[in-house]
Structure 1
Amino acid sequence: MIGLPARLLAAVVALLAAVLPIVEPAVADAQPATQPSPLPFLTVQIDSITPDVVTTTSDPMVTVTGTIRNVGDRAVRDVVVRLERADPVASSTALRTDLAGNVDQFQPVADFITIAPEMARGQNVPFRLSYPLRSADHPSFDVSEPGVYPVMVNVNGTPDYGAPARLDDSRFLLPVVGVPPDQQNDAATDTVTSAVPPDTTRPVGLTMLWPLADRPRLAAGAPGGTTPVRLIDDDLATSLAPGGRLDSLLTAADFATSPQVDPGGEVTGGLCLAVDPDLLVTVNAMTNGYVVNDAADAGPRTTPTHPGTGQQAAIGWLARLKALAQRMCVTATPYAQADLDALHRVNDPALAAAATGGAADVVDQILGVASTRGATIVGDGPLTAAAVDLMSAQGPTVALAAANLTGPDEADGGQPQTADTAPVRYTPNVVTVPFDPAVGAALAGMGTAPESPSYLAPSLSISVKQDSAIARRQDALGALLWRGLDPDASPRGQLIMPPLMWNATAEDAEAVLTTVATTIRSGLAAPRPLRAVLDEAATVHGSAPPPADNVGNPRGRFDDGVVSGIAATTNRLRGLTDALTTDDRTGLTGPQYTAPLREDMLRALSQSVPPDARNGLAQQRLTTVGGTVEDLFKAVTIVNPGGSYTLATERSPLPLALRNDLPVPIRVRLQIDAPPGMTVTDPGEIVLPPGFLPLKVPIEVHFTQRVAVDVSLRTVDGLSLGEPVRLSVHSNAYGKVLFFITLTGGAVLVLLVGRRLWHRFRGQPDRADLEADPHRPDPIEVALAYSDDERRRR
């Protein structure tokens, strides 16, 4: 009892320590602390930046507006905000590292401004900060040279029970293509500081791929000829409709390359549509009407569906794409944006060929164009040695992939690095044209669903979801312009590759293409067609060491279990396809019937889904397709008679009935396990048409008994079909014994008849007659006596 107060006091002290925050030393004059507060008290949201790209004709005032929110559990007093900027970006890695982490490189543009004496919980307060780009007499950004400048909005405050601290910040890149003139209107002097144009002596050869792709939407496990087409959801209808994601991307490209906007064809020459053939197959199928699964994870055999709503949107979007494709470059992505590293591990050459070379055939057929060939877009994953091996086996190609880039913490010497975008040859068949991963990651951060590509090194990954869409757009525009604005950056070739599953909004797409036009027309870049890039890369010689495998950055890598499952399913499907033939009535061929299931294997390896969800969705699709393939094998079988057969003779045929529920004929073979004493004549290869086929198998038996005969059906290559059947067979034949007995009896009969005839011809009585019993009554006399008795009774 004596220890209870002490324990109670200790508990109270512990409770107070848990509730009250740690009090930090006060920051004089509300200066920013080296680290933000560990507790989320305030958040800053940037709402607008004007101008987004500064040129020599822009307004010299840069204005940033936004909103500060109190998201904490207490009030915050003395909320102040100011702008800060860093030196212009001088490396690829700085495009990422200046947007997170250390703040030592930032210098204040002006003093803090109080925006609220106190902010209650849940309160929002807007702010507006506007300063000239340069000024001798007033606070300014102090920018006198073109470049890409990191800018930070710094928010300080004092939470209740706490001390002044930096509670949040938001950073973005401000690209300055040219410094506008500074008008100084002073009473004593009226001077004008001239504009500062960019250095255009070393323009960058610019090539941009404009992706038109989507996640796989076709329901898994539906063979060819299945009508109506079934989708897993109806999101594509929204994306294709006016204002949707794919509509906005297509509209932006159509507008930016139109003769009215691009009369000289500069943007058109440097732009190429990167189209996913799986998207074209899906949209083309939607134009004929389709249904949508009621459940997102339902397979094609699930009956609950509802009509899709995007038929007209699909018709209109596809027609516009066909028209645009007639006047500009088009190239194909790998089918369904399949991961080439995982595809190499599947080790199926036919599937690899369908993903790479076959993709262009689909694009050409649906769009009615001759697409630009010779390029393989690696997509949103890193280029690995396995991917290089896969491409090398397919023939000469140019891989468009992210360059190898790591952060200063991982680089030798800890210095900032600039991505090397010079072409590199790995094998006689494969040369790569790299793009800057920092630029690609900045573009991936745009839109409503920002993501960090899996090719990005972990040291360069920053949290993008907490930033506003405006700030992320600024980062993308700055990254896109950086190489052209830095005359020291080399090489002077730039491939711009947004993520294939790009979630850019209509405003984002318009801003990117406007910036591309600006950098070309200002002389910072020159359009370089994709065909020229590929031809130039083909002349590169040498043999560089293969790239590293994806072991240091396993994010987004497909598990070995998924890969092995796809390999097994694909192998069974190929065996079935080899046995199928063409239906003369419909013209449907075996490869056409199973093609959607092979494509499902590529959809399972798609990089279009977020890296953390790839394995789960792949396993789900694989399970559905595996079930469908198993059903196809069971659809070809032997009809079980459910009784027994009785053979009248030793050569009576064995009657069977084969059933084929597939819509195409299939080449099969019978395997009959006959017991000893039964000989079966192999009927050879049988072409089994759809429906039933009665069949008589020649056999020969040499016994009289009931036996069990096992009959199974296989493809011509030995794959088992359907379920084996056990037949009960009863034979009444005596075989060779009966044959010899009959032959012997016949011979004896012939001898006896011959002997009797011989004696009759010679007039001699037969010995059988002479040896008759003398006491035996004459048959005629017996018959007459019987007749007399009958007459007397009557």
Structure 2
Amino acid sequence: MPADRVRCFAALLASTLLILGLSVAPFAAAPAHAVDPRYATLTITEITPSTVTSVGEDEVRVRGRLTNTFDRPISNLQIRLQRGARVATAVALRTSLMAPSTNYSVLSAPLTLEDTLAPGQSTEFELSAPLSAPNGLQIDTTGVYPLQLSASGVPESGGTVQVAQSRTQLPVVSLPANARRAAAFTGAVGDGDSRLGRDGSVAPDTSAPAALTLIWPLAAPPQLAPGILGGGTEPVRLISDQLAGSLAPEGRLGAQLEALEKAADGLDPRVAAGLCVAVDPDLLVTVHGMTLGYEVSSDPANPTSSTKPGTGREAAEAWMAKLRTLAEELCITALPFAQAGLDSLATIGDEHLATTAVTGASDIVDALLGVESLRGVTIPAVGTLSASGRDVLAAHNQQAAVASSAVEPERLTASGRYRSGPVALQTYDLPITAALGAVGTQPVVPSILPSWQQPTLDDESPVSRRQAAVAALAFPMLAVPDTPTDDAADSVTGRSAFVMPPTYWSPTVDDALGLLNAADLLLASGTAEPLGLRELTAQLPAASTDTRLVTPGDVEPLVAQGFPISAADAAAVRENLTLSGALEGSLVKSPNLVATPQSYLAPLREDALRAVATPQSQTLAQTRALRSLRINAVTATLDRMKQSVALLDPGGRYTLASERSPLLLIVRNDLALPVRVRMDIQAPDALNVGDVGVQEIPPMGTRQIQIPTRASTSERATVEISMLTSTGVPLSEPISLSIYSNAYGKPLFWITIVAGVLLVLLTARRLWHRFRGKPDPADEDRPEPDADSLRLASAPYAERVERARENPEAPPQPPAGDRENDV
């Protein structure tokens, strides 16, 4: 048939189907929920069993609710369960949920609903389908199978269409007894499946148990407001009060601990052996601050903005107490501080900052939880590792790390462990991470997951998403071959079942218990063996297969690297770090305060790590805006600290009492710790100013400093005085003084010398004349004393005083020697 005639026939067929009201299967790339127009929603409320084993019944029961969201009634409703082909790769765990309906070729018998659904009306239903029967799901081997629950009906004035659908997956660890399979049992060695039992049951595959290591992350986006000083000198301030709700028992973080608590009581000890709780130190620092009482900032960009009291103190106290109890029983390890991106740390290039993020994180966890956390392995937040990030780890003697399957090894290994330079890597499957991130109240999609692997989850119920997560958890134990081949389609993780949820995932208590119970079942079945993170860390250095570090396909490099910080922002962070380090060096520990210079400025260094936190859902523009906010807030606080230590300006004019009078200055310190300062004084040559050295200014107070000076002139001298810390940081604004002195300089010196010489000469002349018995020529014009004056001069002192009272206009002037004799 010619091609044009074929095209015409296809167009005619499509038109006929459209006229008859029949639905056409969506394209392969269409999402699983592409039902257009939208007629109804199909909600799965229960699937039994969630994991198929040989001890259960040979059927699957699904309960759900169908709701008419159309504007007209829908009648002739039928619901059926469909199955797709067994999932063969980890990627198919997500893509099978996006496949066209034609891929779900195995159909169960339909369930017919008698009622007609009016607009907005709902109806409950229960559907059962045999596992292995021809009219059921026809499952005869273990593995993970995609399921589609579909509903068809007839909208008013229309034909039969598919009105709603929902998808999930079903893990099959083993199969119960089945008459059809029992009839095929021969018992001969090597005949068919050796796991087939006489009753038709299929045993689990325990020939090569997967090594199960389950990481349980506890983290939250940074919540501490930037630019707040520590050591208890300022109130703890948060950017919002969202963490209060998250820490509550019904919140995201509270539910995780509640689930771990419940599971710890009745869980198989082997589950606990393979489980390790990975805690973000920044979360612990924040929650600990909340237990001391905290405030919520009205403007996170302004460290001095108004606040309101926080409401989560009690929730924080209960959460921390619960975590400390669990930490005594479970493995605890530290995530990088604030989920700081390793590539950003490499760009900043600050050794101390990288140390705090990578190795110092464990010290914080140990101090706040009172345990000894597991060290030696790094879990990057973004899930990938670049060459620069690897070099950061190597520089801090971190020889083991965890990364997703974004690697290209020389050959595949059963353990999924490889080596990139000096760092050994344990790989994990990103689609499993995505499936676990989809559970809970706030589904999280890993930023490095390609869009073509992410199904639409808007219409999926919590139960369907939980069921898919359980299936993804079971997949490595059920589907991965013992020895990987060189086929690129095979998983690089091999027989490893290293399970790493997104760090900000939000499982409910039911979700968490469902996952832990599934892990318990898999271990009990023998398809998995626990491998603790401590044992895995000890084994990682033995990895010898080299691998290239690559960016996941269809993912922007910036996204794969966790949105590394820009060069301009990195320069601003370095400047802030240098300044805070210099200020810390000038501060002094006060015996009256708990705060130390280190704890006082530690939040500002931690703010640098929060600024490079790996985003989970923000766009690049949002990430840059948050980074600028934190960097600018720290800059503002450092500027405020410099202005908090200042010289009190005496008014611009200062007069010295003498040429050697000291210059008196008052220094104010509004910081919470004593600070050591020195003066930088610029004065003219006529004013010699001494150096007072380093002075210590008390906290929240003032101190008077005497600066020795020597003026050689009485002329006005302009002096510029600036103050610096002992480490050279300029403080406040310099002041300018006009200094005046009572010194008269060289003219006064020569006048004094001449006056002294004249005094000596005149005294010598008088003495010369007295020794010769001649009157001094200067006395020649004086009259001779009369007899009365001579008598009074020799009279007693009392008589002379009485005479002076009688004649006050001519008081007696007795010689000094006479007064002494009278006395």
Q: TM-score range by the shorter chain?
A: 0.7 to 0.9
Cα displacement (A) at 1:439? 0.9
2:794 alignment counterpart = none
Q: Supply the RMSD in Å over aligned alpha carbons.
A: 3.7
Contact 1:199 / 1:487 at 8 angstroms: preserved in 2? no
Structure 2: how far apart are the matches of 1:745 and 1:777? 25
1:199 alignment counterpart = 205
Query: Secondary structure of 1:595's partner?
Result: helix
1:481 alignment counterpart = 474
Structure 2: how far apart are the matches of 1:740 and 1:553? 81
**2:550 aligned with 1:554:** no
The code of the aligned residue for 1:598 comes to R
Aligned pairs (5 A) from 1:276-315: 276-288=280-292, 290-293=293-296, 295=298, 297=300, 301-306=304-309, 308-311=311-314, 313-315=315-317
Aligned pairs (5 A) from 1:183-198: 193-198=199-204
Contact 1:257 / 1:267 at 8 angstroms: preserved in 2? no
Query: Secondary structure of 1:376's partner?
Result: coil
Greater displacement, 237-246 / 488-497: 237-246
Note the alpha carbon deviations across 1:282-301, whole angstroms, 9 max, x for none: 3333334x133274748653
2:320 alignment counterpart = 318
Contact 1:339 / 1:381 at 8 angstroms: preserved in 2? no
Cα displacement (A) at 1:448? 0.5
TM-score in terms of structure 1 length: 0.84
2:257 alignment counterpart = 250
Structure 2: how far apart are the matches of 1:71 and 1:724? 72
2:713 alignment counterpart = 703
Structure 2: how far apart are the matches of 1:674 and 1:58? 95
Identity of aligned residues (%): 35
Query: Secondary structure of 1:216's partner?
Result: coil
Change in CA separation of 1:294 and 1:678 when aligned onto 2, cut-off 3 Å: closer
**2:329 aligned with 1:335:** no
Greater displacement, 371-380 / 70-79: 70-79
The structure 1 residue matched to 2:501, chosen from 460, 485, 498, is: 498
Change in CA separation of 1:645 and 1:543 when aligned onto 2, cut-off 3 Å: farther
Note the alpha carbon deviations across 1:35-66, whole angstroms, 9 max, x for none: 44544343332222221111111222112233
**2:575 aligned with 1:573:** no
The code of the aligned residue for 2:202 comes to V
**2:677 aligned with 1:668:** yes
**2:397 aligned with 1:395:** yes
Structure 1: how far apart are the matches of 2:78 and 2:259? 40
Change in CA separation of 1:283 and 1:452 when aligned onto 2, cut-off 3 Å: same
TM-score in terms of structure 2 length: 0.81
**2:526 aligned with 1:533:** no
Query: Secondary structure of 1:210's partner?
Result: strand
Aligned pairs (5 A) from 1:17-166: 25-26=17-18, 30=22, 33-35=25-27, 36-72=34-70, 79-110=77-108, 115=113, 119-136=117-134, 139-156=135-152, 165-166=161-162
**2:605 aligned with 1:605:** no
Cα displacement (A) at 1:193? 4.8
Structure 2: how far apart are the matches of 1:368 and 1:641? 53
Structure 2: how far apart are the matches of 1:475 and 1:424? 29
Contact 1:218 / 1:232 at 8 angstroms: preserved in 2? yes
Change in CA separation of 1:464 and 1:715 when aligned onto 2, cut-off 3 Å: farther
Cα displacement (A) at 1:590? 0.6
Cα displacement (A) at 1:735? 2.9
The code of the aligned residue for 1:34 comes to P
The structure 2 residue matched to 1:268, chosen from 272, 278, 281, is: 272
Contact 1:76 / 1:120 at 8 angstroms: preserved in 2? yes
**2:174 aligned with 1:171:** no
The code of the aligned residue for 2:532 comes to P
Change in CA separation of 1:548 and 1:737 when aligned onto 2, cut-off 3 Å: farther
The code of the aligned residue for 2:507 comes to A
Structure 2: how far apart are the matches of 1:711 and 1:256? 68
Cα displacement (A) at 1:692? 0.6
Structure 1: how far apart are the matches of 2:786 and 2:399? 112
Change in CA separation of 1:204 and 1:735 when aligned onto 2, cut-off 3 Å: farther
The code of the aligned residue for 2:228 comes to A
Change in CA separation of 1:514 and 1:752 when aligned onto 2, cut-off 3 Å: same
**2:465 aligned with 1:472:** yes
Structure 2: how far apart are the matches of 1:650 and 1:24? 113
The code of the aligned residue for 2:170 comes to L
Query: Secondary structure of 2:606's partner?
Result: helix
Contact 1:403 / 1:421 at 8 angstroms: preserved in 2? no
Cα displacement (A) at 1:447? 0.3
Change in CA separation of 1:777 and 1:683 when aligned onto 2, cut-off 3 Å: closer
Cα displacement (A) at 1:100? 1.3
Greater displacement, 346-355 / 248-257: 248-257
Cα displacement (A) at 1:531? 1.3
Contact 2:446 / 2:616 at 8 angstroms: preserved in 1? no
The code of the aligned residue for 1:389 comes to D
The code of the aligned residue for 1:720 comes to P
Contact 1:116 / 1:125 at 8 angstroms: preserved in 2? no
Change in CA separation of 1:460 and 1:542 when aligned onto 2, cut-off 3 Å: same
1:355 alignment counterpart = 357
Q: Based on CA coordinates, which of the two structures has the bigger radius of gyration?
A: 2
Query: Secondary structure of 2:295's partner?
Result: strand
Contact 2:233 / 2:600 at 8 angstroms: preserved in 1? no
Cα displacement (A) at 1:471? 1.5
Change in CA separation of 1:781 and 1:725 when aligned onto 2, cut-off 3 Å: same
2:749 alignment counterpart = 739
Change in CA separation of 1:220 and 1:761 when aligned onto 2, cut-off 3 Å: same
Cα displacement (A) at 1:638? 1.0
The structure 2 residue matched to 1:634, chosen from 623, 627, 643, is: 643
Aligned pairs (5 A) from 1:642-657: 642-657=651-666
Change in CA separation of 1:458 and 1:702 when aligned onto 2, cut-off 3 Å: farther
Query: Secondary structure of 2:724's partner?
Result: strand
Cα displacement (A) at 1:180? 1.5
Structure 2: how far apart are the matches of 1:161 and 1:735? 115
The code of the aligned residue for 1:82 comes to R
The code of the aligned residue for 1:520 comes to L
Change in CA separation of 1:349 and 1:465 when aligned onto 2, cut-off 3 Å: farther
Change in CA separation of 1:602 and 1:783 when aligned onto 2, cut-off 3 Å: farther
Structure 2: how far apart are the matches of 1:229 and 1:24? 69
1:715 alignment counterpart = 725
Structure 2: how far apart are the matches of 1:234 and 1:420? 46
Query: Secondary structure of 2:559's partner?
Result: coil
Structure 2: how far apart are the matches of 1:681 and 1:299? 41
Structure 2 unaligned regions, length at least 5: 1-13, 28-33, 183-196, 485-493, 790-806, 811-823
The structure 2 residue matched to 1:218, chosen from 204, 224, 230, is: 224
Cα displacement (A) at 1:208? 1.1
Query: Secondary structure of 1:778's partner?
Result: coil
Cα displacement (A) at 1:28? 7.4
Change in CA separation of 1:458 and 1:720 when aligned onto 2, cut-off 3 Å: farther
Note the alpha carbon deviations across 1:258-313, whole angstroms, 9 max, x for none: 4x543xx211211111122222223333334x1332747486534442353532x4
Query: Secondary structure of 1:519's partner?
Result: helix
Cα displacement (A) at 1:328? 2.5
Structure 2: how far apart are the matches of 1:164 and 1:615? 51
Cα displacement (A) at 1:743? 3.6
Cα displacement (A) at 1:488? 1.2
2:416 alignment counterpart = 422
Cα displacement (A) at 1:657? 0.6
Query: Secondary structure of 1:709's partner?
Result: strand
Change in CA separation of 1:743 and 1:519 when aligned onto 2, cut-off 3 Å: farther
Structure 2: how far apart are the matches of 1:666 and 1:183? 86
Note the alpha carbon deviations across 1:114-150, whole angstroms, 9 max, x for none: 54786554343444332111114xx111100000001
Contact 2:346 / 2:389 at 8 angstroms: preserved in 1? yes
Note the alpha carbon deviations across 1:525-577, whole angstroms, 9 max, x for none: 11111111111112234664455598435276255265454343333222222
Change in CA separation of 1:601 and 1:421 when aligned onto 2, cut-off 3 Å: farther
Cα displacement (A) at 1:778? 1.8
**2:594 aligned with 1:590:** no
Cα displacement (A) at 1:733? 2.0
